[in-house]
Each structure stands twice: as C-alpha cells, then as structure tokens.
Structure 1
Amino acid sequence: MNSIIDRLKEVRSSIESACLQSNRSPESVQLLAVSKTKPADKIRQLYQAGQRHFGENYLQEALQKQLQLTDLSDIVWHFIGPIQSNKTRDIATHFTWVQSIDRLKIARRLNEQREQHMPPLNILIQVNIDDEQSKAGIAPDQLAEFAAELQQFPQLKLRGLMTLPAANPTAEQQRQSLTAMQRLFSELKSQYPTVDTLSMGMSNDLETAIAAGSTMVRIGTALFGARDTNKE
C-alpha cells in the first residue's frame, strides 16, 4: 500500500498533468487536502511534505485537530461543510476560509463574530449547480444578488465559488455542470476584484474540473484513502 506521502506525490502529478493538458500552469491550481475524519498525525505528515491547505467538514473534530497542531503556525484551515447558526462563532475564529456560504444569515453572523484584529474571513459562495434537493447551495440565478449583499460585510472577503456537482453523472452532464460553474465564476470575477478562486473537482473528477477552469481541487480519498465513518 502506498504511503500518504506517495499518494500526495501522485495527486500533485495528476494536477500537473491535467494542467498541462489544458495549457494551464500547475501553479494555477491549489490542492486542498480534505482531512475530515482523518487523524491529526496524517495531517502533520502531509504538512511536513509541503501541504498547507486542509479542509474540514465537522467543527468539533476540526477544533480538536487544530489543538493538536498548534505548532504548525502557517497551516491554512478551510471549513467546507454545512454551517449551523450555533457554530458560526468558532468557525469565524478558527478558520481562514469558509467555502460553504449560501445564506445571508450565516454570512452576517460570521462577519459579526470575526474579531476586528483578524484579517477578513475568505469566503466562497456555494452554488447548487445541478439543482439537487439534497444539497445546499444557492441557485445560479441568485448569485448576482447574493454576491452584492455580501459586500456589506467588511470582515468577509469574497474570493469566489464552490460547488458539489451531482454524483455519478454522464461525462456530458459532468462537463456541462463544470462549464456552467466556470461561466458563473468568470462573471463574478469581472465584477469583484477579490474573486480568484473556483473550488470544484474531487478525487474522481479532478482532470475534468481543471479542464473546466477550477483553481482549487478538494482531494480526500486519493490522499487519505476511504473516509472513516464519523459524526460530529
């Protein structure tokens, strides 16, 4: 079985190959290691191999790991899961990025609870690109209005968009969804100078997402192996 460092090298190689095939610079795509349900020692191993950005879905689990890794001063934590109102204070305090913004109420709470001495919280708007009932995210036609409303919050910095496309699509459905996200991203980027991040693509669709313009891929299984069962 390959070690986690070997898997990191393989993922980085896959990103580089996908970028070259799309005539993009490999530096234009950020790797986010999705470390939910995985122990702090695995995160430390990846950190020691140069990985800095880590994504967590479950707040209490993330806070425990952050306590175990306080010596890693430049680690960058992304919250990528659903956000409950009673958890916004800890998210505002302990994360650098939040990728799952789809409600004004949550954005307002994060803005109010982000300490003034801290830099603004980097946020991505989650878009439900395939209109799935089971998934969070705003509808594409709500994006312009929602992004405009977010400008009232000085402790939030709009960086772009995130999506979770439908599972097991046909190749054409997958391409259409990812291309639609790229169009939304381009429109948003033309309006807001802080926008530079399109977070889409996971272990099973990394190459397609990069071809469609993703600037950040969220990789869990290909790095850590199968996800452990865990609930917050």
Structure 2
Amino acid sequence: MADACARSSRPRADVRLQPITKTVPANILRFAHAAGVTSFGENKIQEAAGKRDALSDLPIRWSIVGHLQTNKAANAARFADEFHALDSMRLADALNARLARDGRTLDVYVQVNTSDEDTKFGLHPDALLPFIDTLPRFERLRPRGLMTLAAFSDDMVRVRTCFRLLRRLRDEAARRDSRIAELSMGMSGDFEMAIEEGADVVRVGQAIFGRRPTPDSHYWPGLVGA
C-alpha cells in the first residue's frame, strides 16, 4: 500500500485498509484483534452475525461488503457499522426503516457494476445518478462513496478501466451529493492498481489471512471453478 501511494504521490494515510475476514474463524480473529486489527469485513450476513456474537466482548467495527438480500437487511442494520454494497432503493428503504426503529445510522457505499458482467451485483453506471438523487430521503443512511468489484481478469488494462470508471462516476455523483466522496475498490489481487487510480478504501482478505478454504465462486456467484 505504501509503495502504491508513493507511485501515485498520495499520502499513505489517505488510504484505509479494510481487512476482509470471511471464512476466517472467530478464534483466529481474536489473534487478529490482539495484533491491532479492529475492523472486520464480512460477505455473508449470517457469518458476520455469528462472529459478532462470538466476539461481543471486543470493540470491533463490522463492515458488510457483500450483496445483501432485502429480507436480511434488518439483521445487518442491527450491528453493522458500514455497508459496501447498496444497490437498490428497496434495500435502502429496508435498511433505513430498521435503523430508524433501532435509533442507529449506517455508513453506506453505493455499489456500481463497472465491468458490465452479468454475474456482478451493483447498479449499471447509467442508473447511478438517478439513484444518488434518492439518497437524501433515507435519513438513517450516511453515504460515504462508491464501491465496485473490478473485472475478474488477467487483463490489467480491463481491470484498471473499471477503477477509472468508478472514479469518474464518483466525481459526477459528488456534484449531486457532496457526501459521495470515497472510492471503495481493490482487493488482494489488484489493490495496488486501485490505489493508483484513487481508492480510499481497499478490501483485502487473502493477502492478509491466506487462501480461503472455499472457492471464490462460493462468495461471488458466476465464477465457476474460481
């Protein structure tokens, strides 16, 4: 991360590392917390809720980074500190209603499908600005920026194009809503490139905790055999 920041003339402090802990057992996360990791990112809400209960004695910030079904929004709203995959008004409404009931707020990143892949969740780029215009009605949601999953490809030009598109969309969205300021993009295989293209948050799992026991297709449907 420091090298990527140096290459792009950015202060290292400008980029936040969000460790992704999906499939990592709660007992291992205790060691991670003891080593200084205080924010854990989870893809599946059931797994996150179980770990949250198991680690309730620790001061942990929980980030939900994967697609969330509307019928599970209430569970996420109960304890998540931030959500990186907001992609519909229906989900925004469900989250906002539960947050209002609990007297909580939630930091959110709007997910955009920048790779034009049918297997990816997220708003189509053309749908982003109309969606941004609806966000003020959800008073319990605190928009922070945009999020994307770049193309799963060895073609680094294609990957970089996804990051550049998200940055351009962020600039356009910020003119509609100044709260849309950050870019959540980049994972273990491409976070350096994401930083070079302006990432404010990088979501890194395997580069920290090692290879997951389940294939990527378990968490990112459509990646058969990944």
Query: What TM-score, normalized to structure 1?
Result: 0.88
Cα offset for 1:146? Answer: 0.3
What secondary structure sits across from 2:150 in the alignment?
coil
2:61 aligns to what? Answer: 76
Instruction: Give the unaligned 5+ runs of structure 2.
Output: 220-226
Select which of 177, 193, 202 maps to 1:192: 177
**What does residue range 69-218 of structure 1 map to in structure 2 within 5 Å?**
69-73=55-59, 75-115=60-100, 118-218=103-203
Q: What letter is aligned with 1:83?
A: L
Q: What letter is aligned with 2:181?
A: D
Please say if residues 40 and 69 of structure 1, whose CA atoms lie closer than 8 Å, have aligned partners that are also in contact. yes
Select which of 38, 46, 56 maps to 1:52: 38
Q: Aligned partners of 1:197, 1:228: CA distance in 2, in Å?
A: 31
Cα offset for 1:17? Answer: 1.3
Q: What letter is aligned with 1:39?
A: P
Cα offset for 1:116? Answer: 5.2
Please say if residues 38 and 228 of structure 1, whose CA atoms lie closer than 8 Å, have aligned partners that are also in contact. no
Q: Aligned partners of 1:30, 1:189: CA distance in 2, in Å?
A: 20
Alpha-carbon RMSD? 1.7
Q: Aligned partners of 1:151, 1:182: CA distance in 2, in Å?
A: 22
What secondary structure sits across from 1:38 in the alignment?
coil
Q: Aligned partners of 1:202, 1:163: CA distance in 2, in Å?
A: 10
1:17 aligns to what? Answer: 3
Instruction: Give the unaligned 5+ runs of structure 1.
Output: 1-14
Q: Aligned partners of 2:122, 2:138: CA distance in 1, in Å?
A: 19
Please say if residues 163 and 200 of structure 1, whose CA atoms lie closer than 8 Å, have aligned partners that are also in contact. yes
The size of the alignment, in residue pairs, is 217
Q: Aligned partners of 2:103, 2:196: CA distance in 1, in Å?
A: 35
Query: What TM-score, normalized to structure 2?
Result: 0.90
